[in-house]
Amino acid sequence: MEQNNDTQVTEFILLGFAGQHKSWHILFIVFLVIYVATLVGNIGTILLIKIDSCLHTPMYFFLQHLAFVDLCYTSAITPKMLQNFVGTEKSISFIGCMVQLLVYGTFATSDCYILSAMAVDRYVAICHPLRYPTLMSHRVCILLLVGSYIMGFLNASVNVSFIFSLNFCKSNKINHFFCDEPPILALSCSNTDLNIMLIMVFVGINLTFTVLVVIFSYIHILAAILRISSAAGKRKALSTCTSHLTAVTIFYGTLSYMYLHPGTNESQEQEKMASVFYGIIIPMLNPLIYSLRNQDVMEALKRIGKTCF
């Protein structure tokens, strides 16, 4: 990776947020609290599903892995951001930047596919309840999960390999709080048309496919619920979907804004805030959404509480 002056790029500088030096202590405390809550919530979700045998179903199998990928992709960016708030050195090595982007991209993309697999699970449970044990067998769940991780790694590895084959000679200062694709491409003196096309194609395919799976699943779910005669039956069917639908709406809405809207210099700070919400806030919210709005999880918490105390 040679610059015009024949020096080698060995590190990048993460500029973070505009004006963060004035309120770094407040930002550090806020994001530290969010990150700790994220760790507690997601690790707690994983352990609860592992311990309680009543939650050993396909839905919670996917929820367990959703908590895992949330932990992984937020942990790829948050600790470094916290370090940059309190440290004078805001640099990240070239290799460190590549690894951060690879891990973040892999698990964030896997998140999309796991959410779509959960939509399929809800569709089968509500529309084909008698065939549910066969259609959503453990083997099928494993295949869907492995496919989610493969798609995540494929997406991230291709984009990262093409990005870090570029030459960087404009600057080594990344106008972001972590190594994300658009601000890194802005530093390259190479032609980035292929990279931009790859990002749009991969993000477009991943978003379009997974969103369509979710939409078609919920169209059939809604049709099945409307055919239920009793109000109690409708409420019960809806209650099994509300948590997932809430998480999907927040996740895809933020992700679409981040990657599919035309970027401008004026929107850079807005994009950073979208990244905060997507990469840091959502992993904290998911355990709350799935616990506070899910009767099975609340009952499992009560059973664990009685056992412990």
What domains lie within the chain, and their CATH numbers? 11-308 (1.20.1070.10)
- Residue 5: its pLDDT value, please? 44
Work out the average pLDDT over 243-260.
76
Give me the sign of the Cα torsion angle 211, 214, 217, 223: negative
**0.95 exceeded by the pTM?**
no
Sheet holding 173-174, edge to edge: 91-93, 11-14, 173-174
Between 211 and 245, residue with greater pLDDT: 211
From residue 282, alpha-carbon distances to 38, 57, 191 in Å are: 9, 24, 34
Work out the average pLDDT over 236-243.
74
Instruction: State the amino acid at position 233 in one-letter form.
Output: G
Helix, coil or strand: residue 91: strand
Looking up tokens 């005669």, which residue turns up?
Answer: 229
Residue 76: Cβ within 10 Å count: 22
Q: Which two tokens stand for residue 183?
A: 């601000």
Task: Give, to the nearest 10 degrees, the angle between helix 24-51 and helix 78-86.
Answer: 150
Residue 138: Cβ within 10 Å count: 11
| Residue 32 banded pLDDT, cuts 50, 70, 90 | very high
**Position 265 pLDDT exceeds 60:** no
- Residue 112: its pLDDT value, please? 92
**Position 6 pLDDT exceeds 50:** no
| Residue 189 banded pLDDT, cuts 50, 70, 90 | confident
| Residue 119 banded pLDDT, cuts 50, 70, 90 | very high
Q: Which two tokens stand for residue 226?
A: 């409307």
Work out the average pLDDT over 119-141.
93
